[in-house]
Chain A
């Protein structure tokens, strides 16, 4: 079924109201000449925008489309990105198997530095308040003789972006224009042209100018289909007047690259890795440690804005102690440590950081649980950062000759690590919609074409984004009240019913 969205309700707007609605449009009385007409112009060169371009270049039906990409950052820097094997970027995404197979299908996976990615086969999730836990792995679905299936693959965003850029480069530069370090200064409708020429009055025309160079005159390019992959504040979305709803969680996600102590050697099967997530209701959200190669891991700690600021201000030793404490100590202990005086710089030469000694002392009095991650031993210099957590969902992803993908369409809570996967899902759907349209003589910017895309993705994204939102709210109720009791009951039930768990995992990976 199509979701109920304004695009569905639109035919029932009365004609006179319609005229009023569209009276805002500019008719382009004296338009500057349009230099080029493209089939697809993608604004935004992040993972979603680049994946769309790569997907279009990979399919025989769409590889001849004339495409353009507009990105404000310098893409040469992304192309030449390099890090030694012991260092990792702090922006890491967990790609689900379906995202990985999409990247393989469009030929981008082979351009990825796979040595820098880390698949994991199991996930331990537990509630810091009640201790109830749930373990996700595919062991109940697979026979002991086959390889354990992957839950997700940790991949640095920079690694993915570089791979997509080199995949696009490998497709040649025919019918491809990349406007790097360029911004869109305006989007408006084209002119109606000469009497016998094409009428571009319903086509978006972009003025694109190099960043920081206001003297050169912008190029004016027209788009049969304008794709907004331009993030949460999408200028393309604002141009189309698509409404977006949402709220800020008043939480920040603290990220960092960690190094771990050697694994306890009894992990079976050998080489399999586990991700760990513990909900900390009293601190504002879950902490997660997800594996990276060479005994490294990436941290995502969703917490209140004050806690995030506190964590970022700590010395590396104290930060590591806090991460270890967050997986091991009870809520009152953690709340205490979160308010400890930070030692002034003059006393950092002390043998042991106060946070570390506090942790050592308190651990002796805390019962251990079996699912603990290895101890964190260090944090990569300069990798601690934070970003605000928000929820946004556009009321529709399409408008005539416009489609939104990725963060421009939806931003969700990162607790399930689904943000980038949803973006790649959008791209897979939009590119196959375009392919179908080309094969059937449809106009790829027409609403009849694009409604297939929004019908395919809107409800899916709303479901996953909504689930993450509910989980966030459920796990922000501190104490041992009925909500805590209810959620641990839910956890225990799911953990004991293999078929429910299997269903949830398949759903998360679909």
Chain B
């Protein structure tokens, strides 16, 4: 027998010609944050998304640090328990997650794996991310299909998927926002499947990993409006957690020149990043504050503009990470100002 390597690559290529162009027209609407060129770029990577040695390897290697960073956020400020989610001490996994821009599901699937099965013995210690459910959305049809196919290869994740604790939805963030809390009960859904995307009391954690730097700024859409939408979906005390890359000369050198260089130097497919879309931590913090105020306006539906009271209890976190070839990703304090970094903003209670 040869090794039991996933046959994802060959199977998906044989069965399903990649609909590169067709879906980008169906998914990118005029009011969407989704860029058609980004969608087509990631569609072309779809078949190798889960290949541990493939073009997404660096992304796979970063994934455990996302769990560590979320755990540090939850330790700094636990989302406030609501009656519906307050868990018994036996089950500390009570948090509801929304993963925006889940791609092929690298983070979403790993988080789903930490959700305990209902029949499992509840006295288990719980996991650092304390997840009870996760909804993962992405506008790229191919990637959602890849993600679903891959999830089926793990019986535990597959069970979560079948029983609704874990969901993949092919839609945009705007589609989720369009489901106002009032019409949730009427089952309106862009996909037409009657799925309830938006939680009435909001999500405990919204994640936005390696997404911001892929958003096009147009007249109606900007990273700021995108962040505002994410913050609107948070419950008070909830965390919006993400990662992105600072727009500096070192990051230009590392991400555009070195990382996208041809093999054997490069580790990222060419065309993955566009340096001018990168975001610096101070810009991000300013957008987050502005986004919190705007989202509070939108949620209150009032003509009165909210001011600094929307920022009460806001927390901001930022941690730089550096990729060392052969060693992997490491948290390096201070590196957030010139390279890859994790960031998080907590909505006040």
- The residues of A with any CB-CB pair to B shorter than 8 Å are 1-2, 7, 10-12, 15, 19, 21-22, 24-26, 37, 60-61, 64, 174, 187-189, 196-204, 224, 239-241, 399-402, 436, 439-443, 446-448, 451
Contacts and interface: CB of A to CB of B under 8 A. Distances in A.
Given A64-B124, A198-B155, A199-B152, A448 B60 contact: yes
Given A64-B124, A174-B121, A11 B2 contact: no
B121 A443 contact: no
A11 B159 CA distance: 31
A240 B4 CA distance: 8
Contact of B154 (A11, A22, A443, A448): A443
A198 B154 contact: yes
Interface string B51-88: 11110000011011001100000000000000000000
B125 A60 contact: yes
A2 B326 contact: yes
Given A11-B53, A198-B152, A202-B5, A1 B326 contact: yes
- Majority secondary structure of chain B interface residues (helix, strand, loop or mixed): loop
B152 A436 contact: no
B3 interface: yes
Interface stretch (B110-118, B199-207, B221-229, B301-309): B110-118
Nearest to A2: B326
Given A37-B155, A440-B67, A440-B68, A22 B52 contact: no
Interface residues of B, number: 42
A241 B153 CA distance: 22
Given A240-B3, A241-B3, A442-B113, 7 more contacts: A10-B53, A19-B10, A441-B110, A441-B113, A441-B129, A447-B53, A448-B52
B154 A197 contact: no
A19 B54 CA distance: 16
A448 B4 contact: no
Between B110, B121, B154, the greatest number of chain A beta carbons within 10 A of the residue's beta carbon is seen for B154
Most buried by B among A203, A440, A443: A440
Nearest to A436: B64
Contacts of B67: 439-441
Contacts of A198: 152-155, 158-159
B190 to A, nearest CB: 23
B319 interface: no
Q: Which of A61, A188, A202 gathers the greatest number of chain B CB atoms within 10 Å?
A: A202
Given A2-B326, A440-B110, A400 B2 contact: no
Given A64-B120, A436-B64, A442-B110, A22 B155 contact: no
Nearest to A12: B263
B331 to A, nearest CB: 14
Contacts of B219: none
B32 interface: no
20 contacts: A11-B51, A12-B263, A19-B10, A21-B2, A22-B2, A25-B7, A26-B1, A187-B1, A199-B153, A201-B7, A201-B153, A241-B1, A241-B3, A399-B4, A439-B67, A439-B127, A441-B109, A442-B63, A446-B52, A447-B52
